[in-house]
Amino acid sequence: MQGDQYSFEQPSFSLAVDADQKATEFRPFSIASPHMRAFHLAWLNLFSCFFSTFSIPPLIPIIRNDLNLTAADIGKAGIASFVGSIFSRLVMGPTCDLVGPRIASGTLSILTAPIILATSLVSSPQSFIIIRFLVGFSLANFVSNQFWMSSMFSGSVVGLANGVSAGWANVGSGVTQLVMPLIYSLIMNFGVPSSAAWRVAFVVPATFQAITGILVLAFGQDLPSGNYTRSQKVPKDNIFKVLLNGLSNYRGWILGLLYGFSFGVELTTDNIIAQYFYDRFNVNLQVAGTIAASFGMANLFSRPMGGVISDEMGKRFGMRGRLWGLWVVQTVAGLLCVLLGRVNSLWSSILVMCSFSLFVQAASGLTFGVVPFVSKRSLGVISGMTGSGGTIGAVVTQTLLFSGSKLARQTSISLMGLMMVGCTLPVTLIYFPQWGGMFCGPSLDANAPGSENYYLLE
């Protein structure tokens, strides 16, 4: 399939590469082109999208007073931000298959940057909900991020590359919890009234996101050999074949479910954790933001660690190791989430929350340590399905547990943990004919004819 889409040369690379010119080593502090440059552009661009999307929750205690938002309005707005991401992630997967991650991600960032700026113009609960819905579209860049890393790095390090790229990007959801209240306070120090200060603050994330989108388009490269080039339009039946191949692969659906209750739970927690500590433990806005920031900023090393665990388990035990690692880590994360809702003191809650963040984010990294092996022909579709599962899970947990629910917030958090434990069990059903599953060995030689239908990376 690749032969008629790209024109290949044989350039020399700073990193060791395999037969497909994908890097077999990962140097996160290098900017070597094209592999590591793509890595840095991918994570920074997605970082800006997380920063923008979650720049609103830490200021909700101020915004809700200015716009007279009810608890139901805030819950609906949180759901809306995830719903927007569901649709955009589903579309982003096939888009990456067809035009490449560079154009797909850079264009989306530039198009959605004005939306976060428009947050400064909202004047009613209805417009606030609409803005949060539209802002959520930018999180589709997660799919292009993971697609890009899988296009640049070989199977021996793809889990690590995916984990670090997404992990460093997800830190944006924590940094914004810390930074946005500070920006708001700084603007207030210049004598700007509160009702105007929070609006002006959104100039920062909007500008940041637009800049990173431009950088991706200007300096990015889709593949080790160059950008996507097509000498002729891809026939429609090929497009549908790629889409159908991905949608008919049950492994993608199971990984979407697991991701819904790892990353989806993480998204929900990002949405509610600052307000939870603000209301339950009576801390001020800056302290609540700092506590919430520690949850998101743990992605700096926790999600990459998930990728490391996946790769190491894969080297030692094959696919069986990757699947067992995913089940154990995500189940522990669910149990810690249950505990988070049960502890009653501030410091105990902070300690459990930090432990929970480590495991739930590592589980996300472990999930995308499996994704690149599901389908060679439909990598973008599988990535989109799994990524969308994350936001669908966030919608489910936000709707059932945190949007107008009569349950106490801490009870809802514990129930979310129980849902995580239960929805992790289907990982036991994933089976690869050439690698096996958690309980069964392979039934097909990985080098046998037809195995490439499943096989992606060597």
Cα–Cα distance for residue pair 218/221, rounded to 1 Å: 9
In the chain, the number of structural domains is: 1
Instruction: Specify if 13 maps to a domain.
Output: no
Q: Is residue 138 part of a domain?
A: yes
Q: Please give the model's pTM, rounded to 2 decimal places.
A: 0.77
Q: Which residues pair with 198 in a beta bridge?
A: none
Is the Cβ–Cβ distance between 140 and 213 less than 8 Å?
no
Contact between residue 122 and residue 134 where contact means Cβ atoms under 8 Å apart: no
Structure tokens at 98: 């067809």
Evaluate whether residue 427 is within a structural domain.
yes
Structure-block tokens of residue 217 = 């388009």
Question: Which domain range does residue 437 map to?
Answer: 35-222+242-453
Tell me how far CA of residue 56 lies from CA of 196, 216, 328, 435, in angstroms.
15, 25, 33, 44
Whether residue 118 is contained in a domain is answered as yes
In a domain, 5, yes or no: no
* Domain presence at residue 10: no
Would you write out the chain's pLDDT as a tens digit for each of its 458 residues? 344 444 444 567 888 898 889 999 999 999 988 999 999 999 999 999 999 988 998 898 899 889 988 888 888 888 888 788 888 888 888 888 788 899 999 999 999 999 999 999 999 999 999 999 999 899 899 889 989 998 899 878 888 898 899 889 988 888 898 899 999 999 999 999 998 999 999 999 999 999 999 999 999 999 898 887 643 344 554 667 767 777 888 999 999 999 999 999 998 898 788 888 888 888 887 788 888 888 878 888 898 899 889 989 988 999 999 999 999 999 999 999 999 999 989 999 999 999 999 999 999 989 988 988 887 777 778 888 898 898 899 889 988 898 777 888 899 999 999 999 999 999 999 999 888 899 988 876 655 544 444 443 32
Q: What pLDDT does residue 5 have?
A: 45
Report the C-alpha dihedral over residues 71, 72, 78, 80, rounded to 10 degrees.
-160
Question: Is residue 299 domain-resident?
Answer: yes
> Residue 225 is which amino acid?
S
Contact 104, 96 (CB under 8 A): yes
Question: For residue 429, is it within any domain?
Answer: yes
Residue 36 to residues 26, 164, 165, 205, 312, Cα–Cα distance (Å): 8, 12, 10, 25, 21
CATH number, domain with residue 266 = 1.20.1250.20
